[in-house]
Structure 1
């Protein structure tokens, strides 16, 4: 079925009196242009033109009224002022972009074209509009497409690392997926995506020793490696904070895989805390006699109760020299990692316990890549060696 075309509306003309009457309805009686146009069967554009002309004519006889040429000149000057203000704003954003290549400049133009005219952007960056339009219509290069795919994988690796991974671990995560890319490229794309790892904190000594307690020799001698699991353990305690006061975390780590074999949390930094962490480690691993247990000279580790448990299970006791944090650097490094990635302030003791369990047992032991064992997770490293 063919639709019939509506007959074209013939062009009409109106007398000056009719125009004045229509304008009076808008100007004096306060009706809207659309309402008057509808009532008089006029086009909106025609009625607006009459109203604008009437207002312009009314202002000609007033003192200080501008002529038509002056109004045009004023409009032109205002436009130039706006352009100068936009140009000044844009120059602040350009920075050292003038020294970049065309591709970088075109990327900037595309990002800013919603706020500034393309002509102004091209003029200030000294590139041609035709070149920009040609670049915009050109399909993305293979390198650019590969970068976009890599950005997705990098963001996934960073999120999987709980937003704590820097470029070394993100690079290793990509390699584990079979993605071969240079670390410099990973660094560049992480900078573009504004992804950063957590920086390490400065060391703070919290050891509390008690004169008169027996002190063991330093048998470990800073050998922070082992040929197999349950050969060398290191232990220590650190402080955490809550609005209600301090909390103390004791932990025991296996130097073979950096697996946290035991840990405990308490509001009191006493021998019961360290014994609880040691008890978890002993129940979990059931080590044979001869395991070397290293700690600092803190009173909780030098206590009679703690030494008795070590002796009962045939564990050799080793202690750092007084005030020397480097003798137990592996343990200090772990606490630094924990506080950087999880934090050291919690809402409450129960909040700290839940978050520590999730970080230690779920993330650190099972998922987090460790540089000392070839960027494998501790549990994964032990399974691979079994």
Structure 2
């Protein structure tokens, strides 16, 4: 109306539209529209499905009444339907209750606790962050298993300690760490991550680790992704073509495990550390290996430039840091 009034007084539409902050095309569209609504962001809109204030008040009255005060909306709605009365959906009941701070835990059971993601740990060198876990090794006797305790360094993927026992006990765990750390000099063992089973949370083991000022963290229940490095090792272990499906005795299991760890540490070309062995990564030989690979690639590109064109050479190097349970941003 104001635009038409200005136009009647002699102003052109383009100048008036520019003054009020709209385009001439918008004005033309408004004139052609028979059902004009304000669709600007932030404008007041009519939401057909929105509950009226009267309905919201009725929901609160019903839920707080003496009859339904101990029922949940999942029970209230069908009971009302049995009487031929519909007020709102179950989700609407919950939404109204939350909006008025009327939804609280009232059961005799303890409220469910939300599992907190383990803290992020970064390894920038060997012997800074270790992970460990226990896996089952089947025996030839049906229903009987041996238990492999394994510790891995997440930076160089080196198996720093292992043991096999006939049961899962906390004192086996402490014995493993005591034997692994005995005789090691200048070790900077800072962090340890594990599953949350009883062998990992034993009082004597935790006391031993706390005495070394080790930062300890645990995976969430039934969340294998919280401990991916040791789980990846277990997959390599059990999908190896020489893995016995069953072990005749605990001595058989220990002998095979010893040979496998020897192969894994000293011969296995690990993909996540640039296809060098964990031992080469741990003792520093990987840097010279990567340097030789890069020099060979540069010489090959000079000799056969047409094979690369404009593509850059693949650079072989070691990761500066390995992150466990990386925080999402």
Smaller-chain TM-score range?
0.3 to 0.5
- Relative contact order (alpha carbons < 8 A, sep ≥ 6): 1 or 2 greater? 2
Scaled by the length of structure 1, the TM-score of the pair is 0.41
More helix as a share of residues: 1
Bigger radius of gyration among the two: 1
